[in-house]
């Protein structure tokens, strides 16, 4: 199977390459090799490669910056998806689009199902929802949340750096979701592709956490592995104590029951996945 992966230098792009099945002949391109915001460039490259599958792991993820630069967020997260969908249709390729829990407003009292009506709070969420719509009915759309890996810019890497520098950290405790290891997400995508799944699916690791819970777990697991040498006091705070340009959903837990059924079982618990990622970081530097 010939596969084009966009966003090759991102944490999900790298995980997709690392976890790809042996049958996949992958061409992984970063933004320097393929500007997905250019319709002409996308059409030319897809026609040249003639992939059977396109996995779009490229995204504009600067949630706060998107409030001032929604045009750029839309260009990458929505218009570019339309270019990829049109090019995929011309060569008969399947498209996988990765979306976000930010398409919801966080007002639900239960985990969000794939068929729940979206209601994004800000520019980033609006751009990801527009990307879902641009992908088309035949695409596989995977909504996920709180993605991290051993490389790239993410919450885990930021916490490890700050915990090595400070004696105290203040972390928001009233935003609840589920951390997701990029490798877990990548494996789930490959499995869903292999089972010819389409439509909107929800995937995160199992369990629920606040950002405060996540930070405490990072400190405990990293300390146990010797990645941190000194104790750090982690103080829970309210969202109102840490104002940001973009409003964030207070509750963005996704209902993964249908996706887990298609995968043949639940994902690992987020804390187990975190521990495995930190062990890999310890062993591989």
Single out the residue of 182, 191, 163, 145 nearest to residue 280, CA to CA.
182
How far is residue 263's CA from residue 82's CA, in Å, rounded to a whole number? 28
Catalogue the active-site residues: 124
DSSP letter for each residue of the chain: -EEEEE-TTSHHHHHHHHT--TT-EEEEE-TTT--TT-HHHHHHHHHHH--SEEEE------TTGGGT-HHHHHIIIIIHHHHHHHHHHHHT-EEEEEEEGGGS-S--SSPBPTTSPP---SHHHHHHHHHHHHH-TTSEEEEE-SEE-SSSS-HHHHHHHHHHH-SEEEEE-S-EE--EEHHHHHHHHHHHHHTT--EEEE---BS-EEHHHHHHHHHHHHHHTTS--S--EEEEE-GGGS--SS---SB--B--HHHHHHHTSPPPBHHHHHHHHHHHHHHH-
Which residues, 6+ apart, have CB-to-CB distance to 48 below 8 Å?
A: none
Residue 6 has φ and ψ, to the nearest 5°, of -90, 165
Both tokens assigned to 120: 């994004």
Q: How far is CA 229 from the centre of its chain?
A: 30
């Amino acid at each position: 199977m010939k596969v084009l992966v966009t966003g090759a230098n991102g944490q999900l792009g790298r995980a997709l390459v690392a976890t790809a099945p042996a049958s996949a002949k992958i061409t992984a391109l970063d933004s320097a090799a393929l500007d997905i915001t250019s319709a002409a460039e996308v059409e030319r490259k897809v026609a040249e490669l003639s992939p059977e599958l396109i996995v779009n792991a490229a995204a504009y993820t600067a949630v706060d910056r998107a409030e001032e630069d929604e045009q750029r967020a839309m260009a990458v997260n929505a218009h570019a998806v339309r270019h990829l969908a049109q090019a995929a249709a011309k060569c008969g390729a399947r498209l996988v689009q990765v979306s976000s829990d930010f398409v919801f407003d966080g007002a639900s009292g239960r985990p969000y199902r794939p068929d729940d009506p979206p209601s994004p709070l800000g520019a980033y969420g609006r751009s990801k929802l527009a990307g879902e719509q641009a992908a088309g009915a035949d695409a596989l759309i995977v909504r996920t949340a709180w993605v991290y890996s051993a490389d790239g810019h993410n919450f885990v890497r930021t916490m490890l750096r700050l915990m090595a520098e400070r004696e105290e950290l203040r972390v928001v405790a009233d935003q609840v979701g589920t951390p997701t290891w990029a490798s877990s997400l990548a494996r789930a995508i490959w499995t869903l592709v292999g089972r010819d799944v389409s439509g909107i699916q929800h995937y995160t690791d199992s369990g629920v956490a606040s950002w405060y819970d996540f930070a405490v777990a990072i400190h405990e697991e990293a300390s146990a592995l010797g990645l941190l040498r000194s104790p750090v006091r982690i103080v829970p705070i309210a969202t109102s104590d840490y104002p940001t340009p973009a409003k964030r959903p207070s509750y963005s837990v996704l209902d993964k029951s249908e996706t887990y059924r298609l995968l043949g079982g639940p994902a690992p618990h987020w804390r187990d996945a975190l521990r495995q990622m930190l062990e890999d970081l310890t062993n591989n530097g």
